[in-house]
Structure 1
């Protein structure tokens, strides 16, 4: 009979313990629910930026573990109001280094641009100078060609007067032209006359030789001296020249005759 009260006491103690555990469990569960509800409300408010609270406290909440999970992605991650102080300092150091590097690159680019500008200016100047010199040379060349053409025409005219014995016309003509041109023409005529005199003297030497010897000497001179041979034969009387040509080999005689023909046609 004495065992029954003990069983009853044990049951009461067990019930009390279960009641305590249940109470503790319910308290913990309530706390969890309250925290979850708080976090849900917090998340909703911050994620949707109700009343601008997210923008205002973004950097503060971002540094709090778990709560920062409620923050949405910032529209501008580099905006200081969305960054913590540590992130701001880190970005400042990063931007400062980039800025210094950009300054160095800018200085190098400016130096390179100045160097290229210097070379371009020099190139442009050299190009202009070269163009001016080429233009001047072209003008001088054209003037020289025109001068030579005029002198050649004047010389032919004077030679015709000399050949015709027109002394009065020769005198009047020289008085009417430019003194510089007159001097150049006169010098050319004297030079040509001197050459003609030398050729005549040279031709006289061969004219006094027998035709076979003269022909042999001319053939020894060869085709490279055809101009000189033809001038010499032209300065002789035609009888002596023809006898010397007849004494030449047929091939060489043909070459000399062709050159003589050119000289006669030129006159």
Structure 2
């Protein structure tokens, strides 16, 4: 009876594979600890309370994806090593037509995973789009080809932008329309469009929402960090979509009040009429537009 000798190279390969996988996981974990960008999935720094919710969901999705990927690749590599063809193999291995338990398993598990993802996504989406609370500040943001208008409803003033001229020279960002917001305040954005579909997006808020002609969309954020941020249109809206940019300044209450007063002194009082749109609001949508507070000049 012939004596089967163990292949010493096989054990070394397994040890090397396990060691490499362990080092990779430790490296990724170390990078996540050392760099804040990695710990929030390389998303922009969040300047609102809702941004934390988005970051947590994003990172959790990536962790789940990496775990599933590691499991699939691990089983694949295991099968490649364990059941590879050997020199003394003759003919084909036994053929199996189906395996009911395994087929049921790989059908039920993905369905459960999708269900879990759907639950948490729907939960966070409902929270991010909840506008039931009374806002501290309401801003009607109007998208137009290819710039932005801002109606500060509570202060009864407005600001209007023109298309950016991207010359590549320093100082261009100072000519962009600037949206002012007070820090530590709940802000409601009421979104309308004058012409085509646009999308209001401030990456630091980690939220965006479409602006559809004839309709009114809205969402709320609570600002947490003072600073200068950028905003842009996130919906391809025509030839100069790339120039549809604006600045966002989250400032203290005194600076915000000072800017509102400056707009008032410039004669920019009231609200820019949404009837300037190419397409008027659909019946019933007018009720969703904010109205200035009584007594505001």
Could you tell me the TM-score, scaled by structure 2's length? 0.18
Higher relative CO (Cα under 8 Å, sequence separation at least 6) belongs to 2
Could you tell me the TM-score, scaled by structure 1's length? 0.19
The structure with the greater share of residues assigned to helix is 1
Structure of greater Rg: 1
